[in-house]
Homo-oligomer: A and B are copies of this chain.
Amino acid sequence: MLGAKSVIREMFMYGKERAAQIGYENVFDYSLGNPSVPCPPQFTQAMVDLLQNSEPVALHGYCPSQGDPTFRSAVAQSISHRFGLPYEQKHIFPTTGAAGAIAHAIRAVTTPGDEVITFAPFFPEYIHYVNKTGADLKVVPPDTEDFQINFDALETFLNPSVKAVLINTPNNPTGAVYTARTLERLAGLLTQKSREYGHTIFLVSDEPYREIVFAGAEHPYPAAFYPNTLTCYSFSKSLSLPGERLGYVAVHPQCEEGDILVDVMAQISRGIGHNCPPSIIQLACARCLEVTSDLSVYETNMNLLYNKLTELGFAVKKPGGTFYIFPKALEEDSIAFCERAKQFDLLLVPADSFGCPGYFRMAYCIDTDKVRRSLPALEALAASYR
């Protein structure tokens, strides 16, 4: 019953051990996507205010199964305003982070044996979120040119068993942001195939990095292109609250069966013992929908790394967002490459488990000072290949 351990967590645990030996400041740990900036002060203030000025029985009482109405309507209002779609409270289902959102969305729109398509490179936990529902995750090979969608490959994967397509933009691990052209083409294809197969193919759009987009990058809202979209969000990155486990599924107002999908997800929750994220976190985040942590450090770090990697001759696309960069390794075997990097105390994650061998991921959600100090290590690593 014990599945394969996450390669990311393994690297992270190695980093902790190594830090105990040579000091935390000397380990250039690019393994884990854990935000490095504090939550905005508004979140702390909202929490303290709720604790000090609310009646505790009401504050900490049971939520309805569909989630806290205050949070749900605040989210609906915020994203309606921002994306121009008429979301209402009934379309919002609070979840334990994006993980819970994806697991619920997939369960809501598939039955065991259905196929779900995603695109390499992809966040490897998707295998668990999808396959544990009884559906079957199929991975379309990457578009290594731009890390958009390899449409030729996608067409060969579509068949009547496909009930959902799972995308992630801005993307972990590539940092790519899907363009309007990509989303239009995807929407067109899904509309056509839904008609052909006589059933809806749902789009499950995983967007925890929505707020981390860099200067000049276009970042369209996927649901605006395709009504049968379930948008999965998390406050882990935007408010730097990964441990507090709050996210949501937003069901597009014109989605097929859109009026009952939240009730379906609430029913699913009963069976997995999840029963709503914590009340106080929902109430505090409801007051922080228009703020984020100071996310500018990620762009600073990205530029430092992108420039150095390019200078050193790495093949690498400039990320449009997230806190990841995804260069090609300097040898074919990226696992061997990342093993060698350890000699320079650089902790990099080989992309084999992301479905894209030959590449590696750097999570640059660390201090800018440490990024700067890591550049000589990157130089030395590159030099070792000459």
Contact = CB atoms under 8 A, between A and B. Distances in A.
Contact of A273 (B2, B35, B97, B260): B97
A60 interface: yes
Interface string A114-148: 00000000000100110111000000000000000
A62 interface: yes
A103 B278 contact: no
A102 B274 CA distance: 11
B37 A276 contact: no
A128 B270 contact: yes
A54 B352 CA distance: 37
B47 A51 contact: yes
A44 B44 CA distance: 14
B48 A52 contact: yes
Contacts of A65: 9
A38 interface: yes
Interface string A84-108: 0000000000011101111110001
Contacts of A277: 245, 278
A198 interface: no
In this complex, the member of A34, A128, A133, A246 whose beta carbon has the largest number of chain B beta carbons within 10 angstroms is A128
A264 interface: yes
Interface stretch (A207-215, A235-243, A322-330, A375-383): A235-243
Contacts of A9: 65
Given A1-B267, A48-B48, A243 B279 contact: yes
Total copies of the chain: 2
B272 A103 contact: yes
Contacts of A264: 1-2
A74 to B, nearest CB: 17
A275 interface: yes
Contacts of A274: 96, 99-100, 272-274
A271 interface: yes
Nearest to A33: B62
A271 B130 CA distance: 8
A263 B100 CA distance: 19
A280 interface: yes
A36 interface: yes
Interface string A249-266: 000000000001001100
Given A243-B280, A271-B131, A275-B99, A35 B57 contact: yes
A98 to B, nearest CB: 8
Contacts of A263: 2
A23 interface: no
A39 interface: yes
Contacts of A32: 62
A57 B240 contact: yes
Interface of A: 1-3, 9, 32, 34-39, 44, 47-48, 51-52, 55-57, 59-63, 65, 95-97, 99-104, 108, 125, 128-129, 131-133, 240-246, 260, 263-264, 267-268, 270-281
Q: Which 4 A-B pairs give the minimum distances between C-beta atoms? A: A132-B271, A103-B273, A243-B279, A38-B56
22 contacts: A2-B263, A2-B267, A32-B62, A34-B61, A35-B61, A37-B57, A39-B60, A47-B280, A48-B48, A56-B240, A60-B242, A61-B242, A61-B243, A101-B273, A103-B273, A125-B270, A128-B270, A128-B271, A129-B270, A245-B275, A246-B278, A274-B274
